[in-house]
Structure 1
Amino acid sequence: MANTIDTSLLLSTYKEAKSKTGSNDLGKDDFLKLLITQLQNQDPTNSLKDTDFIAQMANFSSLEQMTNINNAIEKSAMMQAGMMIGKKVTYLNEEHEEVSAAVDSVSFKNGKTSFHLDDTANTILSSSQIIKISQ
């Protein structure tokens, strides 16, 4: 009987396993799924105590409220940034000189706000670069 080598175990054919999960953050839907799974798989002779269930529901309610507050804050920040359109902003250019231009538009991407200026260079600024706002 001859010894054989499984080619799938060779280093040249090895592929690193990739994570199949979305993100590392758990949201309210994930929390609710965990709670439902826990209730479905609990030991019938030792079921979840009322106080434990109420505590978990309170945690879920708190999580939902925090999510709603976070969404409201994000919408408020977007509205405030939108009010910058048409305003004149001043920033320091690469030569550390003060330059002013009107805000033409505002964009939101990956949780960051960018201000697009109405100038010949099509300058894009973050809020931390702005040193003055005027009419």
Structure 2
Amino acid sequence: MEETPQSEAAQALEILRRFKLACEDPAFRASVRRASKKDLYLTVQSKLLSLREIVERDDVLQVPVDHPRLWTLRSQYAGAPQKSLGTPAAPRPGAHDHLPPRPLAPAPRDRRATNGLGNLAHVMANL
């Protein structure tokens, strides 16, 4: 025997009743509290606080980082902004293998127009 579907208001009241019962359980409250604090590091205020902490610590700036890309950047940087060399030149046409251009497709023909002209030519030939 199928149950009759409850109205939305009755469903909402049932959900509220079950939530109130669950809130009385200390384990549920602890899990909700943990979940609410889970993504706090994503807020703007927490990002600013962590940035301030990083800036206030002096030892962070003293740590040397050795990486080939940083070696390249350090060798290019002489204490002044780098000169803008503009947009790089385009490669020569023969520098790379290019695909040949696509052949043009024939123009689509309208069959009705073709048949109409054929019929007209046939009628005129038989006059």
Structure with the greater alpha carbon radius of gyration:
2
TM tier, smaller:
under 0.3
Normalized per residue, the structure richer in strand is 1
Normalized per residue, the structure richer in helix is 2
Query: How does the TM-score come out when normalised to structure 2?
Result: 0.25
